[in-house]
């Protein structure tokens, strides 16, 4: 027992040391990379470069999956990444709709930390954060356990839906898209981002691929169930949406957005 206790202490000391070391390295990078090329909208940090995020797998490179893989997109100070900044740019600068904040009922699926903090401060009429609770994770108290293939809200309820890199995890994505469409108001908008292959014409999925290692090899992440392709908008249209596609990266260079990632804005 003594040996075990000694080992536990050793691990604890080692973990604390590593945590302190990481904090020192992070602060050093924040100091070193100060600059004017990029500006993080969430923490205000201005930098000369962005940090790396993600990792490459052969399938990500081979299929040119935009929105996955290793890339420079991370704020050195707050760790926010390009996906969150893209939604921010659209809401804050592009959507006149978002000016009427106190009138807007919002559903944010699988809410990202920085984006949800930003939205929480906007005095929205209603801000629902929904996620499908999975056993091994813990969730903040204000997040509702929600399966988006069966959204527990009435038809035409939400003005704004944000579903940012979620559908690639859902086996029955047509049902999820149909549900998102159902709960969207006729005047509302849905932001529907996914990783997309620039190589594939047709979405690749195989229900028999269920082992995490196999999914990683086939789809580029252990919990993805498909690779979306150039037909992604068609799949949204099949669920009822009208879709507008456009890029914002060149318009807001300081945000360090992914030049290959288009926004998919769904209307009813």
Residues of this chain that interact with Zn ion (CB under 5 A) are 40, 42-43, 45, 75, 77-78, 80
Distance of closest approach, residue 259 Cβ to Zn ion, in angstroms: 20
Nearer to Zn ion, 40 or 119 (CB): 40
Distance of closest approach, residue 254 Cβ to Zn ion, in angstroms: 12
Distance of closest approach, residue 50 Cβ to Zn ion, in angstroms: 10
Give CA–CA dist 24/178, Å, rounded.
Answer: 47
| Token pair recorded at residue 111 | 């809410």
As beta bridge partners, residue 197 has: 65
List own/partner pairs for 4-11 with CB under 8 A and 24 or more apart: none
Q: Residues near 111 by Cβ (< 8 Å), separated by ≥ 6?
A: 119, 129, 130, 131, 143, 162
Nearer to Zn ion, 73 or 75 (CB): 75
Nearer to Zn ion, 60 or 80 (CB): 80
Nearer to Zn ion, 45 or 232 (CB): 45
Give CA–CA dist 238/123, Å, rounded.
Answer: 34
Distance of closest approach, residue 51 Cβ to Zn ion, in angstroms: 10
Question: What are the start-end ranges of the H helices in 184-268?
Answer: 212-219, 232-238
Distance of closest approach, residue 253 Cβ to Zn ion, in angstroms: 16
b vs e for 224-254, b when ≥16 Cβ sit within 10 Å of the residue's Cβ?
A: bbbbbbeebbebbeebebebeeeebbeebee
Distance of closest approach, residue 193 Cβ to Zn ion, in angstroms: 20
Give CA–CA dist 231/126, Å, rounded.
Answer: 33
DSSP 91: I
Nearer to Zn ion, 44 or 259 (CB): 44
Distance of closest approach, residue 38 Cβ to Zn ion, in angstroms: 9
| Token pair recorded at residue 192 | 């529907």
Give CA–CA dist 37/152, Å, rounded.
Answer: 43
Nearer to Zn ion, 80 or 161 (CB): 80
Residue 144 and residue 129 in contact, taking contact as beta carbons nearer than 8 Å: yes
Nearer to Zn ion, 38 or 232 (CB): 38
């Amino acid at each position: 027992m003594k040996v075990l206790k000694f080992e536990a202490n050793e691990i604890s000391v080692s973990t604390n040391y590593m945590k302190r070391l990481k904090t020192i390295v992070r602060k050093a990078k924040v100091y070193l990379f100060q600059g004017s090329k990029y500006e993080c909208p969430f923490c205000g940090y201005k930098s000369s470069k962005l940090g790396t995020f993600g990792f490459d797998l052969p399938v990500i490179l081979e299929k040119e999956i935009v929105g996955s893989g290793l890339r420079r997109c991370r704020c050195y100070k707050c760790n926010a990444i390009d996906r969150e900044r893209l939604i921010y740019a659209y809401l804050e600068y592009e959507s006149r709709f978002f000016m009427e904040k106190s009138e807007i009922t919002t559903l944010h699926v699988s809410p990202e930390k920085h984006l949800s903090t930003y939205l929480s401060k906007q005095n929205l009429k209603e801000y629902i954060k929904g996620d499908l609770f999975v056993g091994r994770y813990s969730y903040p108290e204000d997040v509702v356990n929600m399966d988006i293939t069966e959204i527990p809200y009435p038809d035409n309820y939400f003005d704004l839906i944000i579903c940012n890199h979620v559908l690639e995890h859902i086996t029955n994505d047509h049902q999820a898209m149909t549900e998102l469409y159902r709960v969207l108001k006729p005047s509302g908008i849905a932001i529907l981002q996914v990783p997309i292959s620039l190589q594939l014409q047709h979405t690749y999925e195989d229900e028999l691929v269920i082992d995490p290692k196999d999914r990683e090899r086939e789809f580029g992440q252990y919990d993805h169930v498909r690779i979306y392709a150039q037909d992604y908008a068609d799949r949204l249209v099949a669920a009822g949406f009208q879709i507008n596609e456009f890029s914002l990266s060149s318009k807001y260079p300081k945000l360090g957005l992914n030049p290959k990632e288009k926004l998919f804005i769904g209307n009813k």
